[in-house]
Chain A
Amino acid sequence: MAEVMLRGVAKSFGQTRAIEGLDLTIADGEFVVLLGPTGAGKTTTLRLVAGLERPDAGRVLIGGEDVTLAPPSARDVTFVFQQYSLYPHLSVYENLAFPLRSPARRMGKDEIKRRVEATAKLVRIDHKLESRATRLSGGEMQRVAIGRALVRQPAIYLMDEPLSSLDAKLRAEMRLELKRIQQELGATLLYVTHDQIEAMTMADRIGILKDGELIQIGTPRKIYTEPRNTHVATRLGQPAINLLPQGLLPDAGLPAGTKTVGARTEHLRIEKSANGQADGVVDWIEHLGDQNHLHVKLGDRKLITLSPPDTPLAPGDKVMIRYNNPLCFDADGNWLGGRAQ
């Protein structure tokens, strides 16, 4: 395991700039998740660390050593791809042994066997070692793919949306397993996803990427409660944060310069209006079982928030809405730091 640093890294493909001036340090043993939409430069960042791409500018350091120009085989990293992760012509055992048989390592037979079996146990695939890779279910395949990365002890594990091809139930299981494995090994891990739940649950730090730039990096809590701007705020939270223009609701006490108010469920107090005075009308209620999505119409705006499953509200009800410490953003969408009282 080692510390990995990107310093002022830039990469373009033809006319499109994938990454610009990226500075990122992943501490030894840290789990960093890069979160962003498709095309934000997440995968390119991983490929730059892996050596599958060469940066146009900047440096890549692994364990203090400059590897900017080193080929992938000389970098001591592992990579879990989103798909196509297993060699289809090999068995599970051979897939796991493949990295250990490389000319870079040339491990003894017994050592390979010992390591493969230990890794197979770790990812719980030891009962299928002799199966062909193509005979496995999606979850098993992805466990083997992760196992192939874990069979070595590299400087850093790189994972490119490894769970996105799995169904929801399996994804939830694998999320826990991955975090467990990472903690057991004390692994340095750079993980890329567009799934905010994966980012929130697994990361030590989350980096928010947009158009090839790192907008903000910090602990999940910090990113959630103190987003630098509206873009970061919309990345986290389910349902997505409501961005409302200042003045739409009674908002006395908001900091000066507030142009946009960001309100998640916990920032809103909604009550059925008693005296005929109302801020909005309940438009629709989505019943999710354990909770409800409440759609409220505010004039021509719409607000979506959570409500308890036994909510007394019904569509057509007039409601009073008050802010409760919402996030405030200025005209450029930057967070103002302060809170309303």
Chain B
Amino acid sequence: MSLTTAHSVIEPTRTSKRIAGAIVVAYALISMVPLFWIFATSFKTPPDSISYPPKVIFQPSLEGYCNLFTTRTRQTREYVDALGPATTLCDEITRRRNMVIAGPSNYWPRFINSLVIAFGSTFLAVSLGTLAAYGFSRFKVPLADDLLFFILSTRMMPPIAVAIPIYLMYRELGLSDSALGMILLYTAVNVSLAVWLLKGFIDEIPREYEEAAMIDGYTRLRAFWKVVLPQATTGIAATAIFCLIFAWNEYAFAVILTSGSAQTSPPFIPTIIGEGGLDWPAVASGTTIFLVPILVFTILLRKQLLRGITFGAVRK
């Protein structure tokens, strides 16, 4: 360029920055394609969704969303024509396919199950994890290293390995297919992650703060509440996102342990395929809506997440 700037050894050069930028953009594009395809498919009609070659430009339709939220029955043309005028947009779309809406689908109840179970277990895991991490960080716990390793070791086996024993156990306890059972299970899985992540964050908060608070007349518990927690918010937020993502996306346990009233979205969405042929737009719209809570939660906490995923390495 017109000006020559001094090159520092630490500061990356303009070229290397460009290369890095190009790689990031390429990676982002590649990983966004499936998401974009799901989003696009959710607005296609069923014939468009399976046409070959695939349609990139198409007439958008809400049929996928209508099919997602309703159950329908097939009728004769005459029957459909004999009905009064269509009351809703979905009514109209459905009738064009010689079908009538029979009632709402199970999508919302399953979605709400997912919300309750994922947020409930995240709250529990992070709360318990914070307390345990504080204990490990501040007190002389006998065999602390062994205990920490033991806690971590619960994450070393694939969930499916313990799914059958847990299924039998839950059946005995009456916890199978219950939201409480799923919350407890996801909490148990996530608490190990939470303890490890949060211990790192709490280790970084100097003890002097609590000691100062205790000298100022606060008990340890109050000092923890007033001084440690406010400073651990970054770590807590990052940990909460990790826990939430796990609980939200978990499939293996959910498919084995829930089938009815406590079923979560991940095992439910594939069952849409079976209802009246390969209804890809309905599956895609179910998936699109399923992505929203995590997206919102992550955007809300993105600052904390950004600092959190570096595990406190670049605070301030």
Chain A residues packing against B (C-beta within 8 Å): 50-52, 71-73, 75, 77-79, 81, 83-85, 87-89, 98-99, 102-105, 148
Across chains A and B, the number of contacting residue pairs, with CB separation under 8 Å, is 60
Q: Interface of chain A, helix or strand or loop or mixed?
A: loop
Residue B214 at the A interface, CB < 8 A?
Answer: yes
**Are A83 and B215 CB-contacts (below 8 A) given A89-B230, A103-B222?**
no
Partner of A102, one of B206, B208, B216, B230: B216
Chain B residues packing against A (C-beta within 8 Å): 206, 208-209, 211-219, 222, 226-227, 230-231
Give Cα A104 to B214, complex, Å. 10
Q: Apart from A72-B211, A99-B217, list 13 A-B contacts with CB within 8 A.
A: A73-B216, A78-B216, A83-B206, A84-B208, A87-B213, A98-B213, A98-B216, A102-B217, A102-B218, A103-B218, A103-B222, A105-B217, A148-B216
Assess the B222–A87 pair: CB atoms within 8 A.
no
Q: List 29 A-B contacts (CB under 8 A).
A: A50-B211, A50-B215, A51-B215, A52-B211, A52-B214, A52-B215, A71-B214, A72-B214, A72-B215, A73-B214, A73-B215, A73-B217, A73-B218, A77-B215, A79-B211, A79-B215, A81-B211, A83-B208, A84-B206, A84-B208, A85-B212, A87-B209, A87-B227, A99-B217, A102-B213, A103-B217, A104-B218, A105-B217, A148-B212
Kindly report which residue of chain A lies nearest to residue B206, judged by CB atoms: A84
The interface centre, meaning the residue of A71, A84, A102 with most chain B CB atoms within 10 A of its CB, is A102
- A-chain residues with CB within 8 Å of residue B230 when the two chains form the complex: 89
Assess the A84–B209 pair: CB atoms within 8 A.
yes
Assess the A103–B219 pair: CB atoms within 8 A.
yes
Give Cα A50 to B230, complex, Å. 25
The interface centre, meaning the residue of A52, A73, A81 with most chain B CB atoms within 10 A of its CB, is A73
Give Cα A73 to B218, complex, Å. 6
- B-chain residues with CB within 8 Å of residue A71 when the two chains form the complex: 214, 219
Give Cα A85 to B219, complex, Å. 18
Partner of A88, one of B213, B217, B219, B231: B231
Assess the A104–B215 pair: CB atoms within 8 A.
no
User: How far apart are A77's CB and chain B's nearest CB, in angstroms?
Assistant: 6
Assess the A99–B216 pair: CB atoms within 8 A.
yes
User: How far apart are A162's CB and chain B's nearest CB, in angstroms?
Assistant: 12
**Are A79 and B212 CB-contacts (below 8 A) given A84-B206, A88-B231, A89-B230?**
yes
- A-chain residues with CB within 8 Å of residue B222 when the two chains form the complex: 102-103
Q: Interface of chain B, helix or strand or loop or mixed?
A: helix
Give Cα A84 to B212, complex, Å. 10
- A-chain residues with CB within 8 Å of residue B215 when the two chains form the complex: 50-52, 72-73, 75, 77-79
Give Cα A243 to B208, complex, Å. 40
Give Cα A98 to B227, complex, Å. 10
User: How far apart are B77's CB and chain A's nearest CB, in angstroms?
Assistant: 69
User: How far apart are A105's CB and chain B's nearest CB, in angstroms?
Assistant: 6
User: How far apart are B215's CB and chain A's nearest CB, in angstroms?
Assistant: 5
Kindly report which residue of chain A lies nearest to residue B222, judged by CB atoms: A103
Give Cα A50 to B216, complex, Å. 11
Give Cα A85 to B213, complex, Å. 10
The interface centre, meaning the residue of B206, B217, B218, B227 with most chain A CB atoms within 10 A of its CB, is B217
User: How far apart are A291's CB and chain B's nearest CB, in angstroms?
Assistant: 39
Kindly report which residue of chain A lies nearest to residue B223, judged by CB atoms: A73
Give Cα A105 to B226, complex, Å. 16
Kindly report which residue of chain B lies nearest to residue A78, judged by CB atoms: B215
The interface centre, meaning the residue of A77, A83, A88 with most chain B CB atoms within 10 A of its CB, is A88
- A-chain residues with CB within 8 Å of residue B213 when the two chains form the complex: 87, 98, 102
Give Cα A52 to B213, complex, Å. 11
- A-chain residues with CB within 8 Å of residue B217 when the two chains form the complex: 73, 99, 102-105
Give Cα A299 to B213, complex, Å. 58
The interface centre, meaning the residue of B216, B218, B222 with most chain A CB atoms within 10 A of its CB, is B216
- A-chain residues with CB within 8 Å of residue B206 when the two chains form the complex: 83-84
- B-chain residues with CB within 8 Å of residue A85 when the two chains form the complex: 208, 212
- B-chain residues with CB within 8 Å of residue A102 when the two chains form the complex: 213, 216-218, 222
9 A-B pairs with the lowest CB-CB distances in the bound complex, closest first = A102-B217, A104-B217, A99-B216, A84-B208, A84-B206, A89-B230, A72-B214, A72-B215, A79-B215
- A-chain residues with CB within 8 Å of residue B231 when the two chains form the complex: 88-89
- B-chain residues with CB within 8 Å of residue A98 when the two chains form the complex: 213, 216, 226
Kindly report which residue of chain A lies nearest to residue B216, judged by CB atoms: A99
Kindly report which residue of chain A lies nearest to residue B316, judged by CB atoms: A134
- B-chain residues with CB within 8 Å of residue A88 when the two chains form the complex: 231
The interface centre, meaning the residue of B208, B212, B215, B226 with most chain A CB atoms within 10 A of its CB, is B215
User: How far apart are B145's CB and chain A's nearest CB, in angstroms?
Assistant: 16
User: How far apart are B210's CB and chain A's nearest CB, in angstroms?
Assistant: 10
Give Cα A78 to B219, complex, Å. 15
- B-chain residues with CB within 8 Å of residue A73 when the two chains form the complex: 214-219
- B-chain residues with CB within 8 Å of residue A75 when the two chains form the complex: 215
Give Cα A279 to B260, complex, Å. 102
Give Cα A98 to B225, complex, Å. 13
Kindly report which residue of chain B lies nearest to residue A88, judged by CB atoms: B231
User: How far apart are B231's CB and chain A's nearest CB, in angstroms?
Assistant: 6
User: How far apart are B9's CB and chain A's nearest CB, in angstroms?
Assistant: 29
Kindly report which residue of chain B lies nearest to residue A105, judged by CB atoms: B217
User: How far apart are B85's CB and chain A's nearest CB, in angstroms?
Assistant: 61
Give Cα A88 to B231, complex, Å. 8
Kindly report which residue of chain A lies nearest to residue B233, judged by CB atoms: A89
Give Cα A105 to B222, complex, Å. 14
Give Cα A340 to B11, complex, Å. 66
Give Cα A87 to B226, complex, Å. 10
Kindly report which residue of chain B lies nearest to residue A145, judged by CB atoms: B212
Give Cα A88 to B219, complex, Å. 20
Give Cα A88 to B234, complex, Å. 14
- A-chain residues with CB within 8 Å of residue B211 when the two chains form the complex: 50, 52, 72, 79, 81
Give Cα A71 to B206, complex, Å. 20
Assess the B218–A81 pair: CB atoms within 8 A.
no
- B-chain residues with CB within 8 Å of residue A83 when the two chains form the complex: 206, 208
